[in-house]
Amino acid sequence: MSWMILERMRPFTDTLPFDEALRMVLAAPTPTGRTERVALDAADGRVLVSEVVATLDVPPFDRAAMDGYAVMAADTTGATMAAPVPIRLSGQVFTAEQPAVRVRPGSCVQVATGAPMPDGADAVVMVEHTARQGDDTILVRRTVTASQHVGSRGGDITAGHLVLDAGCVLTPARIGVLAALGRTDVEVYAQPRVAILCTGDEVVDPGHSLGPGQLYNVNRFTLQALVRRHGGDPVALPTSRDSIDALSHTLSRAGGCDILVFSGGSSVGERDLVIDALRQHGDVTFHGVAIKPGKPTVFGRIGNAPVLGLSGYPTSCLSNAHVFLVPLLRATARLPRWQPRQLTLPLARRITSTPERVQFYMVRVVNGQVEPAFKASGDITSMAHADGYLTIPAATEGLDAGTDVVVTLYE
């Protein structure tokens, strides 16, 4: 019987160099054109559709930047700790109040931080630099200059000025700009919908009992989390059994998605049918990449949607999703290319590599050195316990202890 099984195997006759495969993936995405309006409290990380021009001045009035006394700066000339200048107190202003008194030569008004400046005043003396003398006299112990400790009208934003560019990624600070202009919502590009299809008779969703030879579905959840982190909207399709009919039926439910990601079924066994389903419904760009892990990676297209087929092994799946899916998704979502942090540190001990394949090797950073973390492609803890990975060139057979290596951090 073994020869019959071998006859059905479809071994790789060739693999694509990693750089070429990545170039093909990066050439495939079409940036999303769909837009939607979202509330400001849901706008973090979204991409702005149109430029924002200020419709009002921020702040909309001159305001005190410190607790103290609004004065005419000229009245404080020469004031020191040893020779304070007395100024008459003529009133006070708190936040959200309209000043009812005007500052005249030789007078001042007590102000709270953020309170509107009274007419006539052009500076604020901090309360720490004053002392009270009786009920209506303030001793000023430091000279101030015009505009000191005053937030001028339009000092932050001026009406009519461009404040945010179209296509920028909304950050907490940029959302703050919109809030300062009184916005309650904003038009952003819709997040790409990413269909996630896990295949295999042995795969069972958490919450169900395991049968003989079955394992819980890891890849659905790791891929969903990665898609959300990089600007996508994951759509989990039902786990497909290992048959062309089952795959085709599940594929029919992926309509309207911008990207389709397979997990499992992309290798060379008789039940590895993703490549057949892709050819039946669309086109194959490549099958097989000279990388480890992830040699059986598939890439193609169904209609306008790029299709990425990843290994069913959890570590291989997530590792290759970082390499191929993240740049594909971010380009589709109009997000800037991901640039994770990197560290250059020495290897704690020698590691070996597979010649003729680029290897993504999981590592931990321990006491300023790089330790191997990889166990096996099927062991998700290889990545769960890793801080990042090394990219080992195809021509390298190993790296000696003490070699400085570049660790790309998982973030």
Beta bridge partners of 364: 371
Burial class of residue 372, CB neighbours in 10 A (0-12, 13-18, 19+): middle
Scan for tokens 């899916």, then name that residue.
325
Scan for tokens 């916005």, then name that residue.
183
Scan for tokens 């049968």, then name that residue.
211
Strands 291-292, 259-263: parallel, antiparallel or unpaired by DSSP? unpaired
Distance from CA of residue 12 to its chain's centroid? 36
Mapped onto helix, strand or coil, the DSSP state of residue 274 is helix
pLDDT per residue as tens, the chain (411 positions): 333 333 344 555 679 999 999 999 999 999 999 999 999 999 999 999 999 999 999 999 999 999 999 999 999 999 999 999 999 999 999 999 999 999 999 999 999 999 999 999 999 999 999 999 999 999 999 999 999 999 999 999 999 999 999 999 999 999 999 999 999 999 999 999 999 999 888 888 898 899 999 899 999 999 999 999 999 999 999 888 778 888 888 888 888 999 999 998 655 545 457 788 888 889 999 999 999 998 989 999 999 999 999 998 899 999 999 999 999 999 999 999 999 999 999 999 999 988 889 999 999 999 999 999 987 777 788 888 999 999 999 989 889 999 999 999 998
CATH number of 342-409: 2.40.340.10
Whether 291 contacts 276, CB under 8 Å: no
pLDDT of residue 126: 98
**Are 2-33+190-332 and 36-57+161-189 equal in CATH topology?**
no
pLDDT of residue 5: 35
pLDDT of residue 301: 94
pLDDT of residue 272: 58
Distance CA 404, CA 100 (A): 69
Distance CA 409, CA 398 (A): 21
CA angle 350, 356, 362 (to 5 degrees): 45
Nearest in space to 378 (alpha carbons), one of 216, 226, 241, 242: 216
- What is the helix (H) or strand (E) element at residue 219, kind and residue range? helix 219-229
DSSP 8-state class, residue 347: B
pLDDT of residue 184: 98
Q: Tell whether the torsion through CA atoms of 217, 279, 287 and 322 is positive or negative.
A: negative
The domain segmentation of the chain, as residue ranges, is 2-33+190-332, 36-57+161-189, 63-151, 342-409
Assign domain 63-151 to its CATH superfamily: Molybdopterin biosynthesis moea protein, domain 3. (2.170.190.11)
Task: Tell me the whole-structure pTM to 2 decimals.
Answer: 0.88
Mapped onto helix, strand or coil, the DSSP state of residue 221 is helix
Assign domain 2-33+190-332 to its CATH superfamily: MoaB/Mog-like domain (3.40.980.10)
CATH number of 36-57+161-189: 3.90.105.10
